[in-house]
Amino acid sequence: MDKFIIEGGIPLKGEITPSGNKNAVLPIMAACILTEEPIILHNVPDILDVHTMRALLESLGVSFETIDAHTWKIQASEICPSELDPELCKAIRASILLAGPMLARAGYITLPPPGGDVIGRRRVDTHILALQKLGAEVECNRIFTFRCQHLKGADILLDEASVTATENAIMASVKAEGKTIIRNAASEPHIQELCQFLNMLGAKIDNIGSNTLEIEGVASLSGGEFTIGPDYLEVVSFIGAAAISKGELKIKNAGPQYLAMVKLVFNRLGVTWEEEGNDIFVPSDQCLCIEPDLNNAIPVISVMPWPAFPTDLMSIAIVIATQSKGTILFHDWMYPSRMFFTDKLASMGAQIVLCDPHRCIVQGPTQLYGDDLSGPDIRAGMALLLAALSASGTSTIRNIRQIDRGYEKIDEKLAALGASIKRC
């Protein structure tokens, strides 16, 4: 199995352009099922999760033509609701996103349980409840079976602001008969992008970016051409890499309009950047001092649904805190295994107390030292890669398939910025 060998302590310098947003392209690929006409997608990231989704769609009869490395032509002229490979479904959480569009297009699909990152229980109840409100019948006996005669618009209150459940409800609703209102909808940038894509095809989705979506069902959708936006999680990863390596980066086409809350949180860790149109410049003279609360109280960084600080960036923030002066508490109530990677940071020399599965306290700054590491999930894997970049000595990161699931050729991108990193 491939691994990364990293020699730390080298400041990153140069310019970088992030890849397309993984969390946008996966639902958009699934949404291509909703039309028989061809779709051309630009800026498709070359990552494992995207290729897994492609394989799943191809097994349903969707055709793909690779125009270039990041441009695909997708056409679902004929759909066959065949049995999906359980191993492919287990590889990505996004396999569940096939339920909504397949119900709208074919009225039937069976799905093995979805997989993805091992960060604790990730319920699918919200998906089922939303699709049932639209008229679907769902059976669950290890395998999920979704069927319907036809979908009808409904007033849906999601019992949690689940990203993928919101996406499934949107895709099922755009061709449902009548009007659908989705309340307590998630509103992350990738959900906004899915809505914009569907509207380009002829869907009628209003209040995009809010937590109450109004959708008027249409009889059919057309084809079209769409460009996937930048992956803001990758953008923030590069910001963190520049800060803790004491480097200086310009990130091109960074989508700074989505980073207001991230900027507030990173400012509390002593990390700043400048916005130059659609680009971001990260200077080398970072303060890296934790800003206390009033009366010198220990501050808390907690994740919340968008537009608050996202759970997927918690691991990166924790690594930055190990290099910032002061004490801070991190709280991720969403996933009970998100913080288990902190034992690897402790083995590198970080001063971290894991209070419980959801909370940790970080005291910094501390000198990190190279170690033999393994990334348990995409975001923790990238966080450990950042820690290795700032560490003294050599680090080995194993299980890099997890990183490759969400970051395109990250070793080549970092090497172009001066990092000493080898894949072997």
Q: Where do the structural domains in the chain lie, given as residue ranges? A: 4-19+230-423, 22-227
The confidence score (pLDDT) of residue 404 equals: 93
Residues in contact with 385: Cβ distance below 8 Å, sequence separation at least 6, in sequence order: 4, 6, 375, 397, 403, 410, 414
The pTM score is 0.94
Judge whether 404 counts as a catalytic residue: no
Q: Is there a shared CATH topology between the 4-19+230-423 domain and the 22-227 domain?
A: yes
The confidence score (pLDDT) of residue 91 equals: 83
List 68, 85, 117, 159, catalytic entry: 117
Q: Which residues of the chain have pLDDT under 50?
A: 116-121
The confidence score (pLDDT) of residue 120 equals: 38
The confidence score (pLDDT) of residue 90 equals: 82
The CATH classification number of 4-19+230-423 equals 3.65.10.10
- Select from 3.65.10.10, 3.40.50.1980, 1.10.3210.10, 3.10.20.310 the CATH code of 22-227: 3.65.10.10
